[in-house]
Chain A
Amino acid sequence: MSDKQQNLPPLPEEDAVSNESNDWIAPALSAEPPPEEEAQEYKRTYSIGVFFVCLLFGFLFAMQFKSVDITSENAVNNQLLRTQELQNMLNEERQKNDALYQELLTLKDDIARYRELSLQSGDYAAVLNNELRRAELVAGFTDVIGPGVTVTMSDSVASVAGDGLTVDPSYLIIHDNDILQVVNELRDAGAEAISINGERLLATSEIRCAGSIVSVNNNRYAAPFVIRAIGDPEALESALKMRGGVIEQLAFFQIEVDVQKSDEVLIRAYTGTTSYTYAQEYKDDVPANPS
């Protein structure tokens, strides 16, 4: 046994190894060298085994290397990619939106043209047209102008930390309920047309909390909210400013509600589309006024 081997546990094959010859990986070692054919066979099976396992090792290693590389890259880029993806989606939707809006405008032009044409074709058409105009005015499909008020609601200037308020900080921002209250008072006071940040309120309009913003006609708006209403300016203003009314309630949280009376409030038409899927006109078979 050589010196080097002394600090190792003795190996059973040690003698055989030290007896071995030139090849760096020794051929078959045994007390009695195997016959020629057996040695050949032995070499072949060894080669196959090592070849197979080395092949598998290489394959797995390369695949795993690629996979790990990609996985870690993904982990790093995931957030970035996600942001980009969302940005792209947003842009796409915006483009679609713009295209649809253009289409809407052209269709509205068409309608106006048809109306002009129909006007020229007789009294009946003129009557119908007048009725249509009135219906559109009521429904909110025309720009309207008239005396009214402009109500501006801004988030509270107070802060819980700075002003020592003992309220939930969420009370300091404007909620859908606050807007609803204002709109409700305006309607109660006889407002004929109302818009919020330029979005015309229809019979089907919602005013709803959508996270930190408010959804009106399925479009989202953030504070400050500018509510325009056409009606008797005095009545509208006093409805909002009455004692114990909405402005006084909101003033508790230092939410500022500014009411400006004006002789000319312009409220734009609803620019979207409406579709009634479920509601249908119901015609009563019994005449309402039998005579």
Chain B
Amino acid sequence: MLFGIFGLLLGLGLGLWFPGYFPESISAYVGIMLVACADSIIGGLRARALGDYNESVFFSGFFINALLAAGMTYFGQCIDLELEIAAMVVFATRIFQNLAILRRSLLNLNEK
């Protein structure tokens, strides 16, 4: 957890310090990457809480999900269909589900 917070702060600092901006054309991809990141973080926390964390699953999931989402965004742009919404909905649903599982597991721990 500490590592996560540390990484988050470091990333925020880096991003704020970094000179330059994303051009408007790729902001959709960055947005989907952000949601993929959030999904991976929550998923990692859940796996950690449930004890089935696996490094390769974590990383492969993160990269493949992000790439798939970006690919869908691109494909959607090609056919003038907002496919990134589909990826967003899936990621957001997973975030909610994972958070719910995490919350329950934590509540159970505290009840003990």
A-B Cβ contacts below 8 A, count:
163
Given the interface pairs A50-B4, A53-B37, the reply to whether A26 lies near B48 with Cβ below 8 Å is yes
Instruction: Determine if A49 and B44 form an interchain contact, defined as CB atoms under 8 angstroms apart.
Output: yes
- Residue-wise, chain A 229-264 has the 8 Å CB interface mask toward B (1 for contact) of 000000000000000000000000000000000000
Please indicate the chain A residues that have their CB under 8 angstroms from the CB of B40 in the complex.
53
Stretch at the interface among A15-23, A126-134, A282-290: A15-23
* Closest-CB distance, B7 to chain A (whole angstroms): 3
Number of A residues near B (Cβ < 8 Å) is 45
Please indicate the chain B residues that have their CB under 8 angstroms from the CB of A45 in the complex.
55
Number of B residues near A (Cβ < 8 Å) is 51
Given the interface pairs A25-B1, A26-B51, the reply to whether A51 lies near B12 with Cβ below 8 Å is no
Instruction: Determine if B41 and A54 form an interchain contact, defined as CB atoms under 8 angstroms apart.
Output: yes
Q: Which residue of A lies closest to B58 (CB)?
A: A49
Sorted from nearest, which 5 A-B pairs have the closest CB atoms? A58-B11, A62-B15, A29-B51, A54-B7, A13-B50
Residues of B within 8 A of A (CB): 1, 3-16, 18, 21-24, 27, 30-31, 33-34, 37-38, 40-41, 44-45, 48-53, 55, 58-59, 62, 100-101, 104-109, 111-112
Residues of A within 8 A of B (CB): 2, 4-5, 8, 11, 13, 16-18, 20-21, 24-30, 42, 45-68, 70-71
* Sample of 19 A–B contacts (CB below 8 Å): A13-B50, A17-B49, A20-B109, A26-B49, A29-B50, A42-B53, A47-B3, A49-B55, A50-B44, A54-B8, A55-B14, A57-B11, A58-B8, A59-B14, A59-B15, A60-B11, A66-B15, A68-B27, A70-B21
